[in-house]
């Protein structure tokens, strides 16, 4: 009787984790690790075997079927088909944009799922990196084809879209939902990102000033050399910023979790804090989605100039306004969602953090990649674009000085973005892509 009683006690203790979730239908990832280490290998192995059989289908259903925006997925293959059948640049361009939109959103979803396993700091970095993967892929493909101005303008547009449109919509929506209270955010995090943005503006402004004041030592070469040197410095500064975040993550406030003293979540249910797919499934989906975006981006870039001529719309407007809206779909949705949940620290991290990464990493990275490719990609974004970026950063910096948000601030940022969009609609780019 002794061994039998011992066995019954063990069984009763090990079944607790599986009954902790409602109806036993969903198991937390940490519970899976507990089961794997238990002494009852037969029960654990049968559960693992059952999960391994349904996991791929469940993962496909979760990623491809649950989001409503996935109804736009068929437009991607349709754009590729029309590229070879009709050569209609307008249709290919718009269908490619529609097809990339759900891919960009699902890319953000996969990184959020991976963040459950990597921790909040690394997860936030992955979220910002893969959230900007669409812009980076489009930029590298355009750079390879010598479309330097499209690279510059699309990256500039991503910064403006995140700072003005995404942050503005988040402040406005959060202020409307929480009209009876004042929303606050961590001013220290916002100040660091604002400082990095101002440093990026300085790195971009000096080559443009050097060019337009005609004070170069070697005409046409000095601004390129200065751009490459400044890009290396900006990459070092961004690497230092990432190192600081990772090194001091324990001493910095963690906006990703809002817990009380007992460690219980104050807002949100258990389902909001648990992963829906496994770690390796998230990594696999990141690879698949990144490859899909890469393929579709090629057809999108090829159709830009043809669509511009057919619609009589400036290429600058397409590059600065239309492309970033598609690429920032994931950031736009997630930033608004967190603002509605009154988690403005995460909203600031998504919107301003993404702008910081584009300005301090992606733009210098493209300059270095162009250097390796033999392309004269530089930081001279021309006078009009540089002035637009400088004024936008100043406006956002003033908005973030006070650690409070309301719908009026959001509305002002949205209206500023509309002015920028109208300005680029009537702007004629004086430079050419002879490079």
Residue spans of the domains in the chain: they are 57-250+277-426
H-assigned helices in 161-251: 167-177, 187-212, 222-247
Give CA torsion, residues 139, 140, 144, 149, to 10 deg. Answer: 20
Contacts of 319 (CB under 8 A, 6+ apart): 149, 150, 153, 154, 157, 304
pLDDT value of residue 67: 80
**pLDDT, block means (10 residues), the chain with 435 residues:** 47 42 39 36 41 64 82 89 86 88 80 75 66 78 87 91 91 89 82 89 91 81 91 93 73 43 40 72 85 84 85 87 76 80 83 88 93 90 92 92 87 95 88 48
- Two tokens, residue 305: 């100039």
Side-chain half-sphere CA neighbours of 282 within 13 A: 20
pTM: 0.74
Q: What is the pLDDT of residue 346?
A: 79
Name the class of domain 57-250+277-426: mainly alpha
For residues 176 and 179, what is the distance between their CA atoms, to the nearest angstrom?
Answer: 5
Q: Residue 78: what pLDDT?
A: 92
**For residue 341, what are its two tokens?**
């949940």
In DSSP terms, which residues pair with 190 in a beta bridge?
none
What pLDDT score does 226 carry?
93
For residue 418, the Cα-to-chain-centroid distance in whole angstroms is 22
Q: Which two tokens stand for residue 216?
A: 């170069």
Residue 124's pLDDT is what?
60
> What b-and-e string marks burial along 284-314, b requiring 16 or more CB atoms within 10 Å of the CB?
bbbeebbebbbebbbbbbbbbbebbeeeeeb
For residues 137 and 290, give the distance between their C-alpha atoms in angstroms, rounded to a whole number.
9
Task: Look up residue 131 and give its two tokens.
Answer: 């959230």
Residue with tokens 């940022």: 413
- Structure confidence at residue 164 (pLDDT): 93
**Cα gap 412→108, rounded to integer Å:** 27
Quick one: pLDDT at residue 269? 39
The Cα 133–Cα 328 span in angstroms is 10
pLDDT at 297: 81
């Amino acid at each position: 009787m002794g061994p039998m009683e011992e066995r019954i006690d063990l069984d009763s203790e090990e079944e607790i984790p599986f009954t902790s979730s409602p109806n036993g239908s969903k198991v937390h990832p940490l519970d899976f690790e507990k089961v794997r280490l238990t002494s009852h290998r037969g029960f654990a192995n049968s559960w693992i075997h059952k999960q391994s059989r349904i996991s791929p289908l469940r993962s496909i259903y979760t990623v491809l079927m649950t989001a409503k925006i996935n109804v736009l997925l068929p437009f991607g293959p349709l754009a590729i088909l029309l590229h070879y059948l009709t050569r209609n640049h307008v249709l290919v361009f718009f269908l490619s944009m529609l097809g990339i939109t759900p891919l960009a959103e699902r890319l953000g979803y996969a990184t959020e799922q991976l963040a459950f396993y990597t921790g909040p700091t690394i997860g936030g970095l992955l979220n910002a990196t893969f959230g900007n993967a669409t812009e980076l892929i489009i930029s590298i493909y355009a750079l390879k084809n010598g479309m330097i101005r499209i690279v510059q303008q699309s990256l500039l547009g991503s910064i403006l879209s995140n700072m003005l449109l995404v942050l503005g919509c988040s402040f406005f929506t959060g202020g409307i939902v929480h009209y009876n209270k004042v929303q606050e955010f961590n001013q220290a995090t916002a100040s660091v990102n604002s400082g990095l943005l101002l440093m990026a503006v300085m790195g971009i402004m000096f080559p443009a000033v050097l060019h337009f004041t005609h004070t170069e030592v070697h005409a046409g070469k000095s601004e390129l050399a200065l751009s490459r040197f400044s890009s290396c410095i900006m990459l070092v500064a961004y690497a230092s910023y990432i190192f600081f975040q990772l090194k001091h993550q324990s001493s910095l406030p963690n906006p990703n979790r809002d817990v009380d003293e007992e460690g219980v979540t104050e807002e949100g249910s258990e389902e909001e804090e648990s992963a829906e797919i496994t770690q390796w499934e998230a990594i696999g989906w990141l690879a698949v989605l990144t490859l899909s975006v890469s393929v579709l981006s090629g057809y999108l870039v090829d159709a830009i100039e043809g669509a511009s001529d057919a619609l009589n719309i400036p290429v600058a407007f397409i590059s600065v306004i239309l492309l970033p809206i598609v690429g920032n779909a994931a950031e736009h949705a997630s930033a608004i969602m967190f603002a509605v949940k009154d988690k403005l620290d995460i909203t600031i991290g998504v919107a301003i953090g993404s702008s910081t990464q584009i300005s301090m990493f992606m733009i210098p990275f493209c300059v270095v990649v162009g250097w390796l490719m033999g392309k004269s990609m530089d930081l001279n974004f021309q006078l009009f674009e540089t002035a637009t970026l400088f004024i936008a950063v100043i406006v956002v910096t003033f908005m973030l000085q006070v650690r409070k948000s309301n719908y009026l601030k959001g509305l002002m940022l949205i209206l500023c973005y509309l002015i920028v969009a109208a300005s680029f609609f009537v702007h004629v780019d004086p430079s050419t892509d002879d490079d």
